[in-house]
């Protein structure tokens, strides 16, 4: 631990450190002096604090946390937003839970029950910037793997090590053919996850309420209805449109559908990926490019979303990995994009792998909660400051054989 060279690097009472990617059960060491409800638990860190914990070079990506970043005691609460807070413009009431179900009846029920909830409010009901704590369920907890999970428990082995096994070594002689076939699919999916997603894994992010002047709090929540109850699988930090949004301005529809699942240039699209896409209701190896005034930029793992039938909203946006896969300028968690919904590199690949085509995508924002700047001392959100308009000429969208070209989204 050493003092920061410049006060602005820490933005007040802030620490820089990593959290292991082991899901919601991870606890921050007490020695780091994490605040709960604004009070410091560790007496070692008192007074005005501007310290950084230097992360080990072994970690792949720096993450940022404030000792006053908000906690979410009810981890599944974001998944209930569509059914408790988000108003359907047609009824002026929250959506029924049935609205979250994928309309493709041929999909397995656990895949049909998957949906995404964007909470684009950076400030809470008291006008305080929320901060972000990512949540990642372990791969063995996913609903894809009931049989492999049981086998790993019986053998007392690390779950992902089963990806090195063959079906014949995992089955018992008395098992039914349909069970063996189902196990083979689980094994294929696990191998695909290990080869195409896990190798990009980084530590999950915990980020300050206010960082470099930005009011932080935007999240994407990947949910699944299990036994009739909405459950959180992943919560990722994100960024949406840099221009002020209101529920009634119709830029983001309240309910959308994932229309296309695109790929990224840093991975080879394999036959195993094609099989996984078939099970996830479709996907392909196309790469989406942002037109950018004639200088195209890749938008890796682009999940193109469209307003659901009967709703109004922009039709050229998508969920995708930020260019370069890094939190440039510390802006992640605040509304800074041109309209798309940004994710980090690993998170974008995981989102693409986990999310089926035609999954419902709910977007929740309130006028008083959609803020871009905050006060580092008080964590209070400031009045919204719109950036100047961007003028980029070009077609709205062009299709080519190998990639899709998108222009500025408004």
**What pLDDT, in 10s, does the model give residues 48-94?**
332 232 233 333 333 333 334 555 589 999 999 999 999 999 999 99
Tens-digit pLDDT profile for residues 272-316: 999 999 999 999 999 999 988 888 899 999 999 999 999 999 999
Region class of 345: left (phi > 0), else alpha (psi between -120 and 50), else beta: alpha
Asked if 117 contacts 362 with a C-beta cutoff of 8 angstroms, the reply is yes
Going from the N-terminus, what domains does the chain have, and what CATH number goes with each?
1-68 (no CATH), 77-134+204-406 (2.40.440.10), 140-200 (no CATH)
> Which one, of 60, 18, 54, lies nearest residue 202 by Cα?
60
> CB neighbours (10 Å) of residue 272?
14
pTM over 0.85: no
Q: What mean pLDDT value characterizes the chain? A: 82
What pLDDT, in 10s, does the model give residues 301-354? 999 999 999 999 999 999 999 987 677 778 999 999 999 999 999 999 999 999
Contacts of 94 (CB under 8 A, 6+ apart): 82, 83, 84, 85, 86, 87, 88
Best CA proximity match to 100, nearest among 224, 280, 245:
224
The Cα–Cα gap between 220 and 117 comes to 6
Closest CA to 245 of 314, 299, 309, 292: 314
d(CA 277, CA 267): 15
pLDDT in tens, 103-157: 999 999 999 999 999 999 999 999 999 999 999 999 999 999 999 999 999 999 9
């Amino acid at each position: 631990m050493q003092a920061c060279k410049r006060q602005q690097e820490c933005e007040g009472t802030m620490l820089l450190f990593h959290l292991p990617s082991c899901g919601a059960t991870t606890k921050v060491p007490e020695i780091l002096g994490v605040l709960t409800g604004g009070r410091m638990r560790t007496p070692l860190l008192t007074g005005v604090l501007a310290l950084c914990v230097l992360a080990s070079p072994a970690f792949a990506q720096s993450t940022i946390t404030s000792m006053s970043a908000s906690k979410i005691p009810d981890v599944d609460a974001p998944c209930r937003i569509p059914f408790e807070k988000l108003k359907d413009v047609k009824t002026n009431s929250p959506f029924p839970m049935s609205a979250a179900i994928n309309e493709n009846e041929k999909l397995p029920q656990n895949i049909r029950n998957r949906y995404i909830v964007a909470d684009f409010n950076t400030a809470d009901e008291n006008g305080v910037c929320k901060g972000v704590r990512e949540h990642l369920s372990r791969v063995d907890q996913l609903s894809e793997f009931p049989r492999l999970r049981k086998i790993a428990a019986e053998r007392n082995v690390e779950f992902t090590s089963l990806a090195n096994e063959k079906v014949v070594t995992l089955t018992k002689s008395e098992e039914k053919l349909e069970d063996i076939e189902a196990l083979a699919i689980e094994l294929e999916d696990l191998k695909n996850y290990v080869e195409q997603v896990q190798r990009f894994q980084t530590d999950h992010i915990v980020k300050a309420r206010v960082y470099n002047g930005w009011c932080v709090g935007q999240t994407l929540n990947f949910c699944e209805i299990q036994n009739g109850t909405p459950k959180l699988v992943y919560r990722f930090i994100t960024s949406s449109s840099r221009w002020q949004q209101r529920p009634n301005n119709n830029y983001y529809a309240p309910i959308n559908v994932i229309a296309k699942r695109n790929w990224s240039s840093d991975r080879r699209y394999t036959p195993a990926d094609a099989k996984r896409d078939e099970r996830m209701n479709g996907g392909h190896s196309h790469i989406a490019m942002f037109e950018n005034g004639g200088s195209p930029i890749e938008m890796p793992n682009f999940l193109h979303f469209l307003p659901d039938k009967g709703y109004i909203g922009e039709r050229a946006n998508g969920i995708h990995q930020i260019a370069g896969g890094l939190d440039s300028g510390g802006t992640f968690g605040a509304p800074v994009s041109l309209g798309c919904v940004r994710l980090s590199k690993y998170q974008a690949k995981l989102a693409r792998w986990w999310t089926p085509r035609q999954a419902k995508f709910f977007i929740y924002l309130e006028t008083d909660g959609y803020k871009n700047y905050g006060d580092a001392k008080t964590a209070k959100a400031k009045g919204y400051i719109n950036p100047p308009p961007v003028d980029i000429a070009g077609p709205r969208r062009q299709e080519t054989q190998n990639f899709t070209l998108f222009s500025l989204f408004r």
